[in-house]
Structures are given as C-alpha cells and as structure tokens.
Amino acid sequence: MRSTNKYLLSFTFSCFFLVIGYCQKTAPLVQDCFNAPIIKAEGKYRFEESPQGIGEKVEFSGNSSNSLQYFKKEHNSAWFQFDAVTDGILIFKIIPKDTATDFDFLLFKYTDENFCSDVVKKKIKPLRTNISRYSPEENSVTGLWLGAGEERVHSGPGNHLSKAIDVEQGDQYYLVLDNVYGNKAGFSLVFDYYKTVEVTGVIKNDENNLINEEVKVMWESKTGELLAQTIADKTTGKFKLYAPILKTSRSGDYTLSVESNNHFFFEKMIKITSETFPDPINVILPALKKGKNIVLNNINFHGGSPRALTTSIPSFKRILKLMKRNKSLIIRIDGHTNGCPGGIASSQDLSLARASTVKTFLIKKGIDSERITVKGFNCTQMLFPTTGTEEEQSLNRRVEILVTSY
C-alpha cells in the first residue's frame, strides 16, 4: 500500500471547512510523483492557480512528440494520488478558467512502492493519456469521457477527450497534469462515476412502418454531450442501448435522440436514477415531406424573452444537422408564447422573435436564409391553454417546424 504523506492533512482540513461552507474543495499542487497528495476522487476541486514548475525530480524528458504514452517533456506539472470510491465507469474533466491554457494528462494504475522510480524508467505505461492540442471551441477541456473512443491521444490536433475507464472500488491511481504554456489562471478537476442501464425500444415511421435505412440511436447528457450510441436493427426496428447514468441516488436528466437521413429526428428527455429500469420506448420518426409539422418540446425559452434555455442548444444543433444533411429541405419556424399577459401585439412580437432566434442560429452556422421563413402565433396555439404547471408553461414557450418543401 502507498504510505500516507504530509499533504493528506491539508486536504482533510480544507474539506472540513467545505462542509460548513467556509472554503472550497481543493488540494496542494505538487510537481513530483513521490510527494503527490492523496485526494478523494469524487466531486469538484477548484484551484486558484494552474501548476507552475517541474519540481525536484524530472519524471518525463526527451520523448517523441508523437508519443502516445508520455509528455515530450514536463513544462508545469501536478501529481495526484487517488482511490476509486466506487465500482463503475470513471470520468474526470480538467477545466481551465482561461481557454488559452493547454492541459495534458497521463493516468497510471499504482503498482507498488517502486511506482515513481518505475515511471521514470518507463517500466510502467499509462492506462490513459491525452496530449492533444488545446481546443478553445471545446473550452480547452480535457479528461476522460464516456463518448470518447481513444485510450491515448498524442500531441497536435486530436480528440480533446480520452476513453473513460472501468474501475473497482479501492483501485489506486496516479494522475499527472502538465500545464504546457504555463498560464497561471486556475482550473477545476471534476470526478464522476457512471453505471449503465439497458434502454430498449422500437423505431417506426409515422405510418407505423419500419424504416428502411440506417437509424442512429444516441444517449446524451442534458447539455448534449454524447454518452453512448448504437444502430437500430433494420429488420425489426428494435434497439438496445447500454446507457451510462451517474451513480447517485438523485435522478438525472438525459436525452434519447434518434435520427436517420430522410426523417425528422426524435428526442425525448428522460429523468432516471441509477436504480431505475426504464420501460421500452416507442419511437416515431416522421418522414420529411411537404406539410409535415413537428412540435419541438425540447426547445423552450425564458419567460417573456426570445432567449432560449441552455438545454435547448442540443435541439438547435439537431435542426442544423438535419438541414445540412437534406439540402433540398425548406422549413418555416413557428414561434409560440405562454399566454398573452402584455396583449396580443406584444405576444405576437415575442413569438416571432423566438422563431427568429432559431433562424439566426442556423444562418450563423451556414444555412442559406432562403431555406428558412419564420412566423409568430402569439398565444393562439398554446399546448396547455389553462394555467398549468411550470413544465406545461415552459412547453407553451416553444417553436415548431413546418416542412414547406422537400
């Protein structure tokens, strides 16, 4: 077993104050493997500064810039020791405050008391690495993620995330970060554990027929990050997806989305806990044809505003993919409001502005404005006309898509 080191006390003291609300969860930044602080690998750590310097011992130097295993050299490093706190699929994310920061990482499985010296001698290979160039478009985040396919990523352009790892409670790991450019702005380190549940269903079109083309089924976080995907069986329309969900007693929100080339997409928000076994889901994919009207329940807006909720962005992106995939598709976006508290004229302007929000997004992403018209319906077509729950009111603040030509 590893020996407890002097930095464990600092972490414990910090977390005691976190519980009563006087400080945030943090840990020392230590540049050497042999002094790596032990942290509890769950939740979020915040660091006011990023690693600076390489410490007393240089663990990595003289490696190829194309190496999948090691940093070419250390720039500004920080080491951490941790044990897996539960069985499951471990993910973590390194999130810099400044998107000009380039973090790389290596993750090792602990062996024995010779671990640190064996790392220097390259007797131990890391289980996961990511040495890719930072991507401001992805907020320069790196780490392990469920939707990633590569275990190791070398330097230069590449996937900013590496494949999540299956762990058992008590498994021991060492994580080393390298702050390549030395930016001092702080960062966060977030750990989570997932398990998988089986999600099944049948996919048909809106005429209750099987779909004779490839149909992709995706499981996403509520912010649209891909967690898992599969392809439905063409001969039966059935699908089986092993869907990752957070290992927590609290319910989480996920989205099941389904798409094919010649049909409108399907999306369903699912609230689920790690103890839930979801019922089979019947998916209807409407064919793309003139006159088809689609209600987008996942695009909603702030009350009295044309500003979409952040949870709507994945649906915006799905419409974009649909338009790019089907070059002949022309649509009308219809906006709606939850009641007309300021009068019909005000509600009309708001409903039109909501439709225009979606149109503006699509145009900025390269869709020809001639393929999109907008119309406002104020409060004349509310899904829930009487005063309802907050969820029902949110669903009234929506847009719909009408296919005008295909």
Buried b (16+ CB within 10 A) or exposed e, 350-367: bbbbbbbbbbebbeeeeb
Residues across the chain: 406
**Could you give the number of structural domains in the chain?**
3
Buried b (16+ CB within 10 A) or exposed e, 94-107: bbbbebebbbbbbb
Question: What is residue 118's predicted lDDT score, i.e. its pLDDT?
Answer: 97
Question: What is residue 387's predicted lDDT score, i.e. its pLDDT?
Answer: 65
Could you tell me if 242 and 281 lie in one domain?
Answer: yes
Determine the 3-state secondary structure of 104 from DSSP: strand
Q: Using alpha carbons only, what angle is made at residue 336 by residues 384 and 296, rounded to the nearest 5 degrees?
A: 80
Could you tell me if 272 and 305 lie in one domain?
Answer: no
Tokens of 382: 């509310």
How many CB atoms lie under 10 A from the CB of residue 89?
A: 20
Q: What is the mean pLDDT of residues 223-243?
A: 94
Tokens of 166: 């299956």
**Confidence band, pLDDT 50/70/90 cuts, at residue 251:** confident
Residue 223 covered by a domain: yes
Contact between 346 and 340 under an 8 Å Cβ cutoff? The reply is: yes
Could you tell me if 224 and 302 lie in one domain?
Answer: no
Whether 139 shows a pLDDT value over 80: the answer reads: yes
Q: Tell me the torsion sign for CA atoms 116, 118, 121, 124.
A: negative
Instruction: Look at strands 38-40 and 142-145 and give their pairing.
Output: unpaired
* Of 103, 90, 265, 219, residue with least CA distance to 165: 90
Could you tell me if 134 and 255 lie in one domain?
Answer: no
Residue 188 covered by a domain: no
Whether 250 shows a pLDDT value over 80: the answer reads: no
Residues 286-330: tens digit of each pLDDT? 999 999 999 888 899 999 999 999 989 999 999 999 999 999 999
Contact between 178 and 248 under an 8 Å Cβ cutoff? The reply is: no
Largest CA distance in the chain: 75
- Whichever domain contains 309, its CATH number is 3.30.1330.60
Question: What is residue 278's predicted lDDT score, i.e. its pLDDT?
Answer: 81
Could you tell me the residue range of the domain that residue 269 belongs to?
A: 194-287
Q: How far apart are CA 399 and CA 373, in angstroms?
A: 13
The strand ranges marked E within 213-363 are 216-221, 226-231, 238-246, 252-259, 266-272, 281-285, 293-300, 330-335
Could you tell me if 119 and 240 lie in one domain?
Answer: no
Residue 1 covered by a domain: no
Residue ending a domain, choose from 253, 272, 287: 287
Residue 189 covered by a domain: no
Tokens of 366: 């390269």
* Residue 367 CA to its chain's centroid (Å): 25
- Please state the pTM of the whole predicted model: 0.81
Whether 375 shows a pLDDT value over 80: the answer reads: yes
* Of 45, 33, 35, residue with least CA distance to 8: 35
Residue 246, strand partner residues? 194
Question: What is residue 391's predicted lDDT score, i.e. its pLDDT?
Answer: 84
Alpha helices in 30-135, H assignment, sequence order: 115-120
Could you tell me if 21 and 147 lie in one domain?
Answer: yes
Alpha helices in 261-343, H assignment, sequence order: 313-325
Residue ending a domain, choose from 249, 270, 287: 287
**Which secondary-structure segment (H or E) carries 142?**
strand 142-145
Whether 117 shows a pLDDT value over 50: the answer reads: yes
Could you tell me if 107 and 31 lie in one domain?
Answer: yes
In the chain, the percentage of residues whose pLDDT exceeds 70 is: 94
Q: What is the mean pLDDT of residues 45-62?
A: 95
Q: How far apart are CA 198 and CA 278, in angstroms?
A: 8
In the chain, the percentage of residues whose pLDDT exceeds 90 is: 81
* Residue 44 CA to its chain's centroid (Å): 16
Question: What is residue 22's predicted lDDT score, i.e. its pLDDT?
Answer: 35
Q: How far apart are CA 175 and CA 40, in angstroms?
A: 12
Could you tell me if 43 and 168 lie in one domain?
Answer: yes
Residue 319 covered by a domain: yes
- Whichever domain contains 200, its CATH number is 2.60.40.10
Residues 7-50: tens digit of each pLDDT? 444 444 444 333 333 346 889 999 999 999 999 999 999 999 99
Residue ending a domain, choose from 123, 153, 183: 183
Could you tell me if 283 and 293 lie in one domain?
Answer: no
Could you tell me if 112 and 208 lie in one domain?
Answer: no
Residue 61 covered by a domain: yes
Contact between 82 and 173 under an 8 Å Cβ cutoff? The reply is: yes
**Confidence band, pLDDT 50/70/90 cuts, at residue 249:** low
Could you tell me if 74 and 119 lie in one domain?
Answer: yes
Residue 80 covered by a domain: yes
Per the model's pLDDT, the better-predicted residue between 267 and 274 turns out to be 267
Residue 391 covered by a domain: yes
Q: How far apart are CA 76 and CA 84, in angstroms?
A: 26
Question: What is residue 204's predicted lDDT score, i.e. its pLDDT?
Answer: 96
Could you tell me if 243 and 254 lie in one domain?
Answer: yes
Rg (CA), the chain: 25
Tokens of 352: 């039109």
